[in-house]
């Protein structure tokens, strides 16, 4: 008898086939379970290794032993005339068919039930995915041309090596973002995965992209090694990878080459116009982009865990170095202006900024205007220029034609939004038209808390309080932040969910003064004047009470005369009309004061033919005007 015939007689072939099929099913189920429970990569690899090691053991057992009516015996001890291997083989055939059916069912479910290119995940769904799921969109085409550039890992430990790696990453990201057919995840969301060991499939699912770029940077003196790879997320296949050994002086050439190779690997046709746009997108200066990353680090902390004025001054020291090295880089001027705008805002509402002198205040307005003029002058794309022009027109008080500027921006494709666009849109009544732009921004930056905040607030102002609450809740799970927590509370109150709002205050609001503000908002929305008066007394006695909220408290509680007096004081400040627009936006209560109480603001509203009163996304029964 031939060896193969003997293998068949002893059912070794059938046992091997059954084991292979069952092993494949077990591996697929393990992959699904481990991904959903967040198990590390080694867990799945261990299961596969065990299954592979088990195959030769199972085959040996099938060859050396036989199943008989008396139990398992060694094959050599079984009388061939009494052997039941044929009947055992029939049972194995049925088992193989059953396992094969299970495998086909699993394959069909995985292929057709789940979204192509997006693995099942316990992460909350994001609007980044929903925003492309409209009848007019080709979802497959959109998602196929999508990529996130993760922060390159600094493999050396020089004092600035991490900032250098971040700068190189952002230069690549900015270059790819110039390609109109490519959806590129914005910096905030991509950099949120920095230092985290998460599978690329999971990252891609959260960001709503099909491809991931990752890499590493090692510096030793002037020697530089950069490794980069483009990964197709759904199967982990490397579409392109390359290692560059060069010097720091060649960094810009390396960065440009990486960006172009990634674009080509994603089947994007590059002509000279696109290549030039990619080359001009970033700083193109190694020293400058390293310093810029230092400035952004402090700038972000100034809006979070450190004193704002102190942090913005430190950030501006870095930004001014960048401006000296690369004077035609527009974005740095916008960030540099933030210090001056905060100074002007604080002065208009009566705040006292740390270390702010009369000289600082005298220079703040011309400095802010100069920064935005430079941002306009050095804008490298039409959209960036329109964004800077809109902000400049708003803070300079040149409100004539704001509607036209907003309409041109809404018609211009792109992810980036103007700093003051949400406030301007609320002022001129364009919230519904703005929602599509909001979806685009969220698709580009789904892990940026401010993106969710803007989306939820714009939706509330557009009159859809139910959808606003849905967005705020989803955003709070996906990218929590203090501002987003504030709009979640407003949406809860707008929907009459007062108990849930109070629970949210108790668990999420760390600032005791802000907790009083939100409690006052709930009470006035309920029409409870005695309860409000009690809370108002507590707030007035607080040593760090913020005068920014005085006008909202007066308006919510229906104190018309007090609201008019407070608005009049702000209106007398040269920057007052700009601040009053912000107060309207935050109040969400229609007209917080009578227009004639603020003659400077009234003149602008009438001269530029702007709507008054503004919409009232939330209703406050105590306010009767």
Among 119-123, 411-415, 459-463, top mean pLDDT goes to 459-463
Domain extents for the chain?
Answer: 3-113, 139-282
pLDDT tens by residue, 417-436:
778 999 999 888 898 889 98
Residue 4: pLDDT band by 50, 70, 90 thresholds? low
Cα 255 to Cα 223: distance, rounded to the nearest angstrom: 15
Determine the pLDDT at residue 127.
Answer: 36
Q: What is the mean pLDDT of residues 291-313?
A: 91
SS3 for 246?
strand
Torsion on CA atoms 290, 296, 297, 300, rounded to nearest 10 = -170
SS3 for 495?
coil
Residue 131, pLDDT > 70, answer: no
Residue 33, pLDDT > 90, answer: no
pLDDT tens by residue, 142-186:
457 899 999 999 998 888 999 999 999 999 999 999 998 899 999
Helices then strands (H, E): number in the chain?
29, 8
Q: What is the mean pLDDT of residues 263-270?
A: 92
User: Given 3-state DSSP classes, what are the helix, strand and coil percentages for the chain, each rounded to the nearest 5?
Assistant: 65, 10, 30
Cα 330 to Cα 309: distance, rounded to the nearest angstrom: 22
Cα 327 to Cα 286: distance, rounded to the nearest angstrom: 14
Cα 456 to Cα 467: distance, rounded to the nearest angstrom: 8
pLDDT tens by residue, 583-611:
999 999 999 999 999 999 999 999 888 88
pTM: 0.75
User: What is the number of other CB atoms lying within 10 angstroms of the CB of residue 467?
Assistant: 16
For residue 30 the two structure tokens come to 């393990």
Are the CB atoms for 293 and 170 separated by under 8 Å? yes
pLDDT tens by residue, 329-385:
999 999 999 999 999 999 999 987 788 999 999 999 999 999 999 999 999 888 899
Cα 554 to Cα 540: distance, rounded to the nearest angstrom: 12
Cα 131 to Cα 569: distance, rounded to the nearest angstrom: 43
Cα 45 to Cα 31: distance, rounded to the nearest angstrom: 9
Residue 36, pLDDT > 80, answer: no
SS3 for 176?
helix
Are the CB atoms for 442 and 126 separated by under 8 Å? yes
Determine the pLDDT at residue 245.
Answer: 92
Residue 534, pLDDT > 90, answer: yes
Q: Are strands 65-68 and 183-184 parallel, antiparallel or unpaired?
A: unpaired
For residue 222 the two structure tokens come to 């002037």
Q: What is the mean pLDDT of residues 527-546?
A: 94
**What's 273-286 look like in SS3?**
HHHHHHHCCCCCCH
Cα 569 to Cα 553: distance, rounded to the nearest angstrom: 16
Q: Which residues pair with 66 in a beta bridge?
A: 73
Cα 623 to Cα 304: distance, rounded to the nearest angstrom: 34
CATH of 139-282, one of 2.130.10.30, 3.40.50.1000, 3.40.50.10070, 3.40.50.970: 3.40.50.10070
Cα 500 to Cα 298: distance, rounded to the nearest angstrom: 35
């Amino acid at each position: 008898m031939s060896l193969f015939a003997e293998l068949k007689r002893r059912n070794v072939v059938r046992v091997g086939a059954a084991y292979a099929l069952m092993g494949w099913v077990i591996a697929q189920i393990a992959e699904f379970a481990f991904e959903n429970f967040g198990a590390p990569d080694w867990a799945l690899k261990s299961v596969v290794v065990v299954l592979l090691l088990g195959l030769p053991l199972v085959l040996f057992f099938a060859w050396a032993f036989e199943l008989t009516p008396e139990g398992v015996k060694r094959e050599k001890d079984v009388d061939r005339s009494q052997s039941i291997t044929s009947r055992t083989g029939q049972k194995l055939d049925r088992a193989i068919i059953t396992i094969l059916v299970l495998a086909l069912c699993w394959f069909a479910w995985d292929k057709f039930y789940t979204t192509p290119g997006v693995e099942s995940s316990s992460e909350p769904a994001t609007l980044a995915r929903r925003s492309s799921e409209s009848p007019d969109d080709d979802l497959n085409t959109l998602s196929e041309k999508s990529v996130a550039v993760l922060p390159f890992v600094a493999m050396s430990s020089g004092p600035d090596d991490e900032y250098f790696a971040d700068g190189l990453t952002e230069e690549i990201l900015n270059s790819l973002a110039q390609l109109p057919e490519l959806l590129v995840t914005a910096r905030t969301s991509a950099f949120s995965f920095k230092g985290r060991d998460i599978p690329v499939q999971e990252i891609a699912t959260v960001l709503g992209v099909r491809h991931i770029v990752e890499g590493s940077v090692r510096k030793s003196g002037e020697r530089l090694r950069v490794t980069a790879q483009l990964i197709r997320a759904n199967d982990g296949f490397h579409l392109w990878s390359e290692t560059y050994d060069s010097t720091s002086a060649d960094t810009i050439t390396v960065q440009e080459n990486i960006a172009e190779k990634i674009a080509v690997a994603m089947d994007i046709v590059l002509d000279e116009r696109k290549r030039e746009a990619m080359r001009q997108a970033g700083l193109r200066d190694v020293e400058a982009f390293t310093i810029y990353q230092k400035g952004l680090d402090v700038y972000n902390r100034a809006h979070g865990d450190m004193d704002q004025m102190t942090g913005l001054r430190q950030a501006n020291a870095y930004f001014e170095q960048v401006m000296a090295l690369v004077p035609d880089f527009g974005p740095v001027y916008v960030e540099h202006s933030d210090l001056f705008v905060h100074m002007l805002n604080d002065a208009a509402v009566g705040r006292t900024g740390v270390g702010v002198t009369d000289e600082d205040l005298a220079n703040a307005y011309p400095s802010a205007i100069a920064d935005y003029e430079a941002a306009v002058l050095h804008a490298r794309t039409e959209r960036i220029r329109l964004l800077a022009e809109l902000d400049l027109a708003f803070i300079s008080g040149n409100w004539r034609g704001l509607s036209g500027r907003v309409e041109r921006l809404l018609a211009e494709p792109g992810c980036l939004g103007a700093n003051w666009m949400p406030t301007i849109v609320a002022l001129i009544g364009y919230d519904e038209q703005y929602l599509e732009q909001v979806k685009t921004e969220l698709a580009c930056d789904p892990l940026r808390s401010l993106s969710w905040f803007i989306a939820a607030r714009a939706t509330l102002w557009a009159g859809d309080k139910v959808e606003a609450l849905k967005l705020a809740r989803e955003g709070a799970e996906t990218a929590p932040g203090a501002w987003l927590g504030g709009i979640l509370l407003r949406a809860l109150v707008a929907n009459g969910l007062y108990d849930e709002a109070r629970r949210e205050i108790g668990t999420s609001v760390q600032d005791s003064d802000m907790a009083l503000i939100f409690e006052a908002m709930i009470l006035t929305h309920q029409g409870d004047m005695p309860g409000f008066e009690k809370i108002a007394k507590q707030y007035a006695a607080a040593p760090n009470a913020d005068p920014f909220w005085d006008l909202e408290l007066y308006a919510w509680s229906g104190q018309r005369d007090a609201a008019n007096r407070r608005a009049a004081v702000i209106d007398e400040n040269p920057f007052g009309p700009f601040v009053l627009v912000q107060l309207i936006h935050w109040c969400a209560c229609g007209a917080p004061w009578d227009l004639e109480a603020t003659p400077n603001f009234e003149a602008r509203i009438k001269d530029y033919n702007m709507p008054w009163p503004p919409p009232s996304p939330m209703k406050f029964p105590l306010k009767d005007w």
